Amino acid sequence: MTESLAISKFSDLANPTRFLALAARLLPFMAAVTAILFAVGLYLSFATEGDYQQGMTVRIMYVHVPAAWLSMMCYTVMAVSAIGTLVWRHPLADVSHKAAAPLGAAFTLIALATGSLWGRPMWGTWWVWDARLTSVFVLFLMYLGLIALNRAMDDPSRAARVSAVLILVGFVNIPIIKFSVDWWNTLHQPASVIRMGGPTIDQEFLWPLLIMAIAFTLLFFTLHVMAMRNEIWRRRVAAQRRMAARLAGRESGSEA
């Protein structure tokens, strides 16, 4: 019974107006919580002690690691939306994965750039062709390819369905990124927070990192909802323009 209720609630959102109303109510709260968490997280990440070996550069981690997590989570959100597009033909799913692609590209770029800045003092090089770095770079290229594909098609619903297929095929890459550091013995360190047997990272670093991770996740969802809202409005404007153009054509035709 509860499940059917959840499904009906979910399909209620297929009406864009309901979604817009919900978004308008939720967005201020989400933005506020994100801002507070960022304030706390940034304060903590500068207030805690530096690493005895890495010194101040360890603070790059508080941006780098959450951005890297988000780059993978964003693709997962896109894959779930892609299933929504193909299986249930949910109209919001189209909008969702289209709006998420630029966000994912941005988070991936942040992860790559901060990782590069961190690698310079620690590994002595800006870039190495190590398994994790390469596969994240491939993820970045896939985001850009999806954006290019979406822009290349005029009809939004067809573009959504076709790019959904591609998203699902490209999802193969996500486990490869996740486990690349375990499968190949490379320069990038293996996972130290989410692993069997508890985190190996010190408490001192764990707290700011977790708060920053939650802040980044909320930031993603806030931006995602905002981008979806913009996309819906953009489609409405396009539809109204088309209608106005048709009306104008009819009027000038009757005058002539």
Interface residues toward other proteins, by CB under 8 A = 86, 134, 138, 141-142, 144-145, 148-149, 152-153, 158, 161-163, 165-166, 168-170, 172-173, 176
Nearer to other proteins, 99 or 177 (CB): 177
Ordered DSSP codes for 177-237: HHHHHHHS--SSPPP-SSSTTS--S-HHHHHHHHHHHHHHHHHHHHHHHHHHHHHHHHHHH
Min dist. Cβ of residue 163 to other proteins (A): 8
Min dist. Cβ of residue 243 to other proteins (A): 22
Q: At 154, is the secondary structure helix, strand, or coil? A: coil
Nearer to other proteins, 6 or 148 (CB): 148
Nearer to other proteins, 37 or 82 (CB): 82
Nearer to other proteins, 158 or 241 (CB): 158
Ordered DSSP codes for 8-56: HHHHHTTSHHHHHHHHHHHHHHHHHHHHHHHHHHHHHHHHSPPBTTTBG
In which region does residue 242 sit, left (phi positive, over 0), alpha (psi from -120 to 50) or beta (all else)? Answer: alpha
Min dist. Cβ of residue 194 to other proteins (A): 24
Nearer to other proteins, 141 or 244 (CB): 141
Give the count of beta carbons closer than 10 Å to the beta carbon of residue 56.
10
Min dist. Cβ of residue 3 to other proteins (A): 27
Nearer to other proteins, 14 or 168 (CB): 168
State the greatest distance between any 2 C-alpha atoms of the chain, in Å, as a whole number. Answer: 83
Min dist. Cβ of residue 226 to other proteins (A): 28
CA distances from 49 to 63, 118, 189 (A): 16, 17, 21
Nearer to other proteins, 148 or 239 (CB): 148
Q: What size, in residues, is the chain?
A: 256
Q: Which residue has the tokens 């399909």?
A: 11
Min dist. Cβ of residue 168 to other proteins (A): 7
Min dist. Cβ of residue 229 to other proteins (A): 26
Beta carbons of 93 and 172 less than 8 angstroms apart: no
